[in-house]
Every structure is written in structure tokens, then in C-alpha cells.
């Protein structure tokens, strides 16, 4: 490609993947423009539990990439005053008390791959990670992973965007839906809903659940398992919980202002998608989430709703990230993944380096869009 200072890249999407890619490109001297439909951080990044982890079982390649993602967050924490919105206070997980319980097997698996893990009996939890009602934990016990944590993605995006702008980057918000422009078979820029065209040598599409549809416009299939998301945020309260909890009926993490963020699989299934495409959560679902959270927290506090966030949850069909150039379309790159928080920094970094160097990174070899070509 051209010399970095002459290279122009447009990033479509103002979530964690888009802003991370943009700031890493800017660090490499690339003239970069971000285009977003609405303000930054208005999509999946605003409704993510944002648990930083590589717990339980997944492919070896995916585990390696997630561990690199955790490493990038520790580097960030060492260089910034991020203690209010980036924490590594561990993660605690338990399963239901039935035949589906896999806690002993998962503990042995995590030991075998060198993932820091402890198996705790219910009565031992308080001494290791306080804030949990031991009566809610199944008798098989819980796994505590000390190296896990959480991030407030809007805060991280704000930090990265500030650096991006300071490095001369440009952000175009409220641009409506944008389309990638092709010329002679390669990406040559982006056209906004108003007709504005921003020319580029390469394009990164990081539009969450919209990625498969945008790829389809240029004849490429990306396997799509996108589902619904619901993140409920409580009002702040005084409580000792610091770890991320993942339990059979509720997942909980602290927030920067002393509240809790909540989600679960069952509540997402109850989200309504209206005929106009808008997402809606029933009051009974929100009340149920607040009640389930209270049951697992020490002291069973009364939790009060502050806000909730609904919308699509981007998930590739096979569950693994999709990162890199579309087959046969030079300059057209995508990032599409469920694990936006854990992979947010490292995916943007590795893709930016590929775009500038033209050399594929072996860490991303298993996650190429081309795996869906057949």
C-alpha cells in the first residue's frame, strides 16, 4: 500500500470495534475518518455486560485471542487513570443444581489450559470475593477466576475517541446508514445516507449486527446468529460486590457509579421486536431481572431501575469472531463478533496493523470472513 501518511481509511461504526480500529490506524499515521449512524457508542457497545474473560470452553485459537485481549486491557490500565470504569476484581460463575451443571468439568478444563481458576464451596465464597448470598450457589460450588473483570465501554470509547481526535482523526456522526463504494472491484470509500462520499484506500465495517447485511450487498455471506440484547442498570447503592457474577438466572457487574448492570439469557428471549423494528422490554421482564439479581446478592437488597437498553446483540453464526478482508474485495475489511468488550482493543490493533502492513496476522487466521464463502 501507499506510505502511511498518504493512506486513507474510513471506518464505518462508532462502537468499540470501530473506534479501536480508528485510533490504532491513527497511531500508525493513517488519515482516518469514522462514520456512524447516530452518536458514537450508541449501538451494541451501550448494552453490553462487558465482562472481560476467557472462561469455559471455546476453540484454542479463540482462547488465545481473548487472552491477548485481556493483556491489552492490563496495559491500558497501567497507563491510564481508569480505575472507575476498568476493573479486574475477578469473575464468579456457578451453574444450576441439575444434570446440566458443568462446574467440576469446567474447573478441570481451565486448570488444564492454564487459566487462573479456583473451585469454591458456597460457604468459602465470602472470604474470597464478598457480596454473594451463599444460599443461592448450587452445592457443586462456583468457579472464581481472579484475572477477569469488566469495562464500561462508553467510558473506554470516550477515552479512545479523545486520543483519535487529538491525532487528527475525523468523526462524522448522525450520518444515517452508510454503504461501501466499490471501484474496479475494490473498496474505494463510503457513501452516507445524504449522498456524501468519503474516498479511501480501505474501509473497515464495524457496524455490529448490520455487518452481514452490508457484506451481502457486495455478494458476500457472513453467517449471522444475531439475537436480542437487554441490559438493565440499577440505581446506585452501597454493596460489597466487586466481581462479575454469572449465574443460572442472572449476570451482574458493578458500574462506575456504584450501580449494577444486569442481563440474562431468559430475559433477552422475552424482548419484543415490533413491526417497525424497534426493540421493547416488558415491565415484567425488567422486574424479574431485578428480583433475580437481589436473590444472589448478599443481604438481598432492593434494586431500583435506573435505565435499560435493548437492541440487537451481534453474534456470528458459529460463535467465533469474523475479522479481516472480504475474500476477493481488496480494501474491504470487517469486524463482527459477540465478544466486543474482551476483543475490543486487540481486534482493532491487529486489523489496523494488517491494513497498513498488508501482512495477515496469524492470530486472526481462524477468524477470516472467507470461512463462510462456501
DSSP for 99-160, written as a single string? TT--HHHHHHHHHHTT---EEE-GGGHHHHS-SB-GGGS-TT-EEEETT-EEE-HHHHHHHH
Q: How confident is the model at residue 221 (pLDDT cuts 50, 70, 90)?
A: very high
Q: How confident is the model at residue 6 (pLDDT cuts 50, 70, 90)?
A: confident
% pLDDT > 70, the chain: 99
Residue 329 corresponds to which cell in the numbers above?
Answer: 474485495
Residue among 251, 239, 233, 248 nearest 298 (CA): 239
Residue 243, phi-psi category: left (phi > 0), alpha (psi -120 to 50), beta (remainder): beta
pLDDT at 275: 94
Average pLDDT, the chain: 97
Q: How confident is the model at residue 163 (pLDDT cuts 50, 70, 90)?
A: very high
Beta bridge partners of 310: 230
Residue 310 corresponds to which cell in the numbers above?
Answer: 435493548
Give the model confidence (pLDDT) of 312-344 as tens digits.
999 999 999 999 999 999 999 999 999 999 999
Q: How far is the C-alpha of 168 from the C-alpha of 354, rounded, in Å?
A: 21
pLDDT value at 106 more than 90: yes
Walk me through the domains of the chain, giving residue ranges and CATH numbers.
4-46+153-220+318-372 (3.50.50.60), 88-148+225-313 (3.30.9.10)
pLDDT at 4: 66
% pLDDT > 90, the chain: 98
DSSP string, 204-227: EE--GGGHHHHHHHTT----B--E
Burial of 83 (0-12, 13-18, 19+ CB in 10 A): exposed
Residue 269 corresponds to which cell in the numbers above?
Answer: 428471549
Query: What are the residues whose beta carbons fall under 8 Å from the beta carbon of 254, sequence distance 6 or more?
Result: 87, 89, 150, 241, 242, 260, 261
Give the model confidence (pLDDT) of 142-159 as tens digits.
999 999 999 999 999 999
Q: Is 91 helix (H, G, I), strand (E, B) or coil?
A: strand
Give the model confidence (pLDDT) of 48-73 as tens digits.
999 999 999 999 999 999 999 999 99
Give the model confidence (pLDDT) of 196-215 as tens digits.
999 999 999 999 999 999 99
Residue among 13, 331, 374, 11 nearest 220 (CA): 374
pLDDT at 1: 42
- What is the C-alpha radius of gyration for the chain, rounded to an integer number of angstroms? 21
pLDDT value at 84 more than 50: yes
pLDDT value at 276 more than 80: yes
Q: How confident is the model at residue 3 (pLDDT cuts 50, 70, 90)?
A: low
Residue 258 corresponds to which cell in the numbers above?
Answer: 456504584
Query: What are the residues whose beta carbons fall under 8 Å from the beta carbon of 219, sequence distance 6 or more?
Result: none
Parallel, antiparallel, or unpaired for β 142-145 and 118-120?
A: antiparallel
pLDDT value at 2 more than 50: no
pLDDT at 5: 63
Amino acid at each position: 500500500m501507499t506510505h502511511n501518511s498518504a493512506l486513507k481509511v474510513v471506518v464505518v461504526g462508532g462502537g468499540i470495534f470501530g473506534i479501536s480500529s480508528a485510533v490504532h490506524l491513527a497511531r500508525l499515521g493513517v488519515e482516518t475518518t469514522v462514520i456512524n449512524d447516530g452518536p458514537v457508542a450508541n449501538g451494541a457497545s451501550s448494552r453490553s455486560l462487558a465482562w472481560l474473560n476467557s472462561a469455559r470452553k471455546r476453540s484454542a485459537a479463540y482462547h488465545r485471542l481473548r487472552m491477548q485481549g485481556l493483556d491489552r486491557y492490563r496495559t491500558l490500565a497501567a497507563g491510564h487513570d481508569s480505575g472507575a470504569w476498568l476493573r479486574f476484581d475477578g469473575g464468579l460463575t456457578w451453574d444450576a443444581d441439575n444434570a446440566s451443571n458443568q462446574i467440576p468439568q469446567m474447573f478441570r478444563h481451565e486448570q488444564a489450559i492454564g487459566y487462573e481458576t479456583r473451585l469454591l464451596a458456597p460457604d468459602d465464597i465470602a472470604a474470597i470475593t464478598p457480596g454473594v448470598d451463599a444460599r443461592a450457589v448450587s452445592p457443586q460450588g462456583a468457579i472464581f477466576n481472579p484475572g477477569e473483570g469488566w469495562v464500561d465501554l462508553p467510558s473506554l470509547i470516550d477515552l479512545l475517541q479523545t486520543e483519535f481526535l487529538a491525532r487528527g482523526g475525523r468523526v462524522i456522526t448522525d450520518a444515517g446508514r452508510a454503504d461501501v463504494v466499490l471501484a474496479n472491484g475494490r473498496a474505494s470509500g463510503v457513501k452516507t445516507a445524504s449522498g456524501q462520499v468519503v474516498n479511501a484506500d480501505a474501509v473497515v465495517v464495524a457496524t455490529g449486527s448490520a455487518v452481514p447485511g452490508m457484506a451481502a450487498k457486495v455478494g458476500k455471506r457472513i453467517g449471522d446468529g444475531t439475537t436480542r440484547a437487554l441490559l438493565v442498570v440499577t440505581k446506585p447503592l452501597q454493596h460489597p460486590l466487586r466481581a462479575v457474577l454469572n449465574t443460572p438466572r442472572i449476570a451482574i457487574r458493578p458500574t462506575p457509579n456504584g450501580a449494577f448492570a444486569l442481563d440474562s439469557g431468559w430475559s433477552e428471549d422475552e424482548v419484543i421486536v415490533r413491526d417497525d423494528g424497534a426493540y421493547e422490554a416488558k415491565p415484567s421482564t425488567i422486574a424479574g431481572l431485578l428480583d433475580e439479581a437481589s436473590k444472589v446478592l448478599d443481604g438481598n437488597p432492593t434494586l431500583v431501575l435506573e435505565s435499560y437498553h435493548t437492541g440487537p446483540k451481534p453474534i456470528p453464526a458459529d460463535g467465533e469472531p469474523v475479522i479481516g478482508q472480504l475474500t476477493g474485495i481488496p480494501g474491504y475489511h470487517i469486524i463482527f463478533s459477540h465478544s466486543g468488550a474482551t476483543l475490543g482493543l486487540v481486534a482493532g490493533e491487529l486489523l489496523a496493523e494488517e491494513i497498513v502492513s498488508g501482512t495477515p496476522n496469524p492470530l486472526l487466521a481462524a477468524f477470516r470472513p472467507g470461512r463462510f464463502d462456501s
